[in-house]
Amino acid sequence: MFSLSEGLGFNTNVLETNILNLAVVIAIVVVYGGELISAILDERRARIVKRVETADEKYNAAQEALRKAQLRLDEAKGRADTIRSEGKITVQQAVDFVAKQADEELARLTDVKNSTFALAEQQATKEIQTNLVARALAKAGTKLSQRLASQTTQKAFVDLQIQTFRTKA
């Protein structure tokens, strides 16, 4: 321990000397290094504030970009819904058109079929009639030939022709 009456000497108590040394160092640091520490802390605080402000600006920019992206997404969904509904309408119109065309084609083919049957029937009827007429004429020709072959029939025919000729003259 240090005392004034005894003079200067060394204090061998380690605990007391460490506390005194520490107090002296802290006093020197506070007196002379206070401004330096304060400047360092102020500079650090300014950097932290700037980083926070930068982070805040980036956050706000990201929020704005997210908002714009959300608007574009909503717009795209709206367009997709519109395209989807227009597609359904277009498909329905195409189905209706094809069905109408099929109905018209079926009606046309039915008319063609009916016309073909009618024409075939007419041709068959005409062929039968021609055949019947040919047979009838053949039969009549045969009968006429047989009647003309007989003498009396020929004489009666000639007399009839002469009489017809006289009435006309």
Residue 72, CA distances (Å) to 77, 78, 81, 89, 157 in order: 8, 10, 14, 25, 111
What is the model's pLDDT at position 11? 63
42-54 pLDDT tens trace? 999 999 999 999 9
Residue range 9-58, pLDDT digits in tens: 666 666 667 887 888 888 887 777 777 778 888 999 999 999 999 999 99
Q: Which two tokens stand for residue 28?
A: 């020197």
pLDDT tens for each residue of 55-106: 999 999 999 999 999 999 999 999 999 999 999 999 999 999 999 999 999 9
Q: Could you state, in order of their start, the residue ranges of all structural domains in the chain?
A: 14-168
3-state secondary structure the chain: CCECCCECCCCCCHHHHHHHHHHHHHHHHHHHHHHHHHHHHHHHHHHHHHHHHHHHHHHHHHHHHHHHHHHHHHHHHHHHHHHHHHHHHHHHHHHHHHHHHHHHHHHHHHHHHHHHHHHHHHHHHHHHHHHHHHHHHHHHHHHHHHHHHCHHHHHHHHHHHHHHHHHHC
Identity (one letter) of the amino acid at 102? Answer: A
pTM of the model: 0.41
Q: What is residue 37's predicted lDDT score, i.e. its pLDDT?
A: 78
